[in-house]
Structure 1
Amino acid sequence: MRFESVDDTLTARAFAPAHITGFFQIHDHKDPMKKGSTGCGVVLDGGVYTTVTAGKEIDKTEIFLNDEKVAGDTNRTVIEFMTEVPVKVESISDIPIGCGFGASGAGALGTAYALNHALSLEYTPIQLNDIAHIAEIKNGSGLGDVIGQVHGGIPIRKTPGAPSIAQIEHIPTVENEVCCVVLGELSTSSVLGNSEMAKNINMAGEKAMKKLIEKPTIDNFMHCSREFAINCGLARGKVREVIEAADEAGVVASQAMLGNAVFSIPSTTCVSELVDVFSEFGEVLRFRIRTGSVKII
């Protein structure tokens, strides 16, 4: 269903969780439904809250992030796919932007779900998930975050593509704590557009996947992620320093893909030691694993 006009003011709000990728492989395809990544990541209880408003007082689509007007290309693609009605999209993020936390995927999902609810468009959750994935692919803002975000927990993406066709398994988990330290921003497109880096990523990602499948545990996931970050050459400078400092404290940490940030899922007995290590490099962000998915608030 596609509305062309709205007389009354309609609004809805949705939450979509963050997703940190530990390791991945790039799978290119001309069909955005089949393009994406395989790999493994962890979904967090932090994320993006998105409010969509439509009505006579809104004559053009505008997108805001943390109270600042932005281009919002990925969100705009979602909107254009779903309706011709101009809307106001307001996203508030409690996760870092451009640092490997899947903020663009969370924003796209939140926009899709809130827009669908506000305008009673009658898209199914499966369709909304695919729309968000396609928007990410078309704008080069992500490859596999949406798939992880709609499943929750620690999903292993065994095949690429949109959520409706990707094959997923999970590492069994409770809502363990996840600690992170952000060192700066890193452009996803700048990494994915480097052919030599993409080759290294795919070689390291294939190796990491094989090792994880043999032993799908949180501990092994962290070890595979650490090896991946170092072997493909992404972990450099401060990121490498943080990882090595965690090693000395007896905790396995790795880089958030693709971002200039480091994360770890420590055992309960190691949390305080890890926080001490991370705090030497910046503010420590503490989340819990979210076993749920997107929700209308």
Structure 2
Amino acid sequence: MSTKGHVGRAFAPGHITGFFEIHDDPLPQKRGSTGCGLVLDGGIETTVSESMGRTEIILDGIPVLAETTRAVVDKLVDFPVRVSCTSSIPIGCGFGASAAGALSVAYALNEAFSLDLTSNQLLETAHIAEVTNGSGMGDVEGQSQGGIPIRLSAGCPPYGKLDRVPSPPFEIFCVVLGELSTGSILEDSAIMREINSAGREALHSLLSRPTLENFMQLSKQFTLRCGLASEHLLDAIESVNAIGGMSSQAMLGDTIFAISGAASKMDIMLSLKEFGDVLTYNVGSCNLLPLDV
């Protein structure tokens, strides 16, 4: 790692949640979710530098408000900076982009301005920004773990506890069909009661058999029970499952994610192409990375 002229770079991976249960708490460090998901090799790469004017956040060349990322900036520094983000995951579609933005900017600021913060301190800052802005409830913790993280207890360290489903690296295939508003779903008490009940049962079942295949099956059951999937998404899930693949909904987005299962990768991609452009990612030990400038 190096720092030249107060410039810092960092990468944070995307995260797809298969199922979850929300845990509310007055203390934001304890607020969050339990559940399980997949950490991708795609994500958000962020570069930060000093700014002569006001703080600006640029995503793929376009100025954005990015309230969660901005909250991290405001917490960690008291002077204007330029934040430039490049994304290799869709935004607002269940890939944990807001958390990836928050985490990557925290690491980049720490690198650029020698803030001397630990990983847990950076994680806490990003977590608080996520839960207070209503943009997510557990992606930050999952992204910090890599692979197939299991969120055993809610919140950031020392409250949040994680484990991981052991698995060799594998590919997943995704199609974005639309967007869902995370905030509107989290504010609907009836939907949340059903989500929490289903998520609690799914986590219990996963811990009794922590395999990738069981995670995929439980994620599908969670999707069907909670009723958050569009008809188009349900058709895509059925199409993949009919050829021996395994698929479910990325929470919270109108997005399907799939693994080949008993089918070939080519068959999965051909099946999904009927519903839109197919995105392919690898899942392995994809952890946060400070980057050399």
TM-score (norm 2): 0.96
Q: CA deviation at 1:270?
A: 2.4
Give per-residue Cα distances to partners, 1:190-234, cap 9 Å, x unaligned.
111111111110111111111111100000000000000000111
Once residues 31 and 193 of structure 1 are traced to their aligned partners in structure 2, the CA distance between those partners, rounded to angstroms, is 18
Matching residue within 116, 133, 144 for 2:127: 133
Q: Distance in 2 between matches of 1:107 and 1:76?
A: 9
List, as ranges, runs of 4+ consecutive aligned residues in structure 1 with deviation greater than 6 Å.
Answer: none
Matches within 5 A, 1:106-125: 106-125=100-119
Say how many residue pairs are matched.
288
Alpha-carbon shift at residue 268 of structure 1 (Å): 7.9
1:290 to 256, 275, 284: 284
Match of 1:165 among 159, 166, 183: 159
Query: What 5-or-longer segments of structure 2 have no aligned partner?
Result: none
Which residue number in structure 1 is paired with residue 7 of structure 2?
11
Tell me if 1:52 matches 2:33: no
Shift of 1:271: 1.3
Counterpart among 90, 96, 100 of residue 96 in structure 1? 90
* Structure 1 residue identity aligned to 2:26: K
Q: Structure 1 residues 22-31 or 236-245, which shifts more?
A: 236-245
Distance 1:230 1:168 in 2: 26
Supply the distance in 1 between the matched residues of 2:256 and 2:74 (Cα, whole angstroms).
35
2:34 to 27, 31, 38: 38
Aligned to 2:238: 244
Paired amino acid for 2:91: I
Q: Which amino acid aligns with 1:75?
A: T
Shift of 1:269: 5.1
- Shift in Å, 1:72: 1.3
Q: SS of the residue aligned with 1:247?
A: helix
Aligned position for 2:171: 177
Q: Is the 8 A contact 2:19 2:37 kept in 1?
A: yes
**TM-score (structure 1 length as normaliser):** 0.94
Identical counterparts, % of pairs: 47
Are 1:24 and 2:12 matched, yes or no? no
| C-alpha distance after superposition, 1:154-198 (max 9, x if no partner) | 011010011442111110012101111110111110111111111
Corresponding residue for 1:4? none
SS of match in other structure, 2:223: helix
Q: How far has the Cα of 1:290 moved from its partner? A: 3.3
Residue 258 (structure 1) aligned with residue 252 (structure 2): yes
CA distance in 1, matches of 2:158, 2:231: 38
Specify the alignment match of 1:155 in structure 2. Answer: 149
Corresponding residue SS for 1:143: coil
* Structure 1: gaps (5+ residues): 1-7
Q: Secondary structure at the match of 1:158?
A: strand
Counterpart AA for 1:89: V
Matched, 1:145 2:139: yes
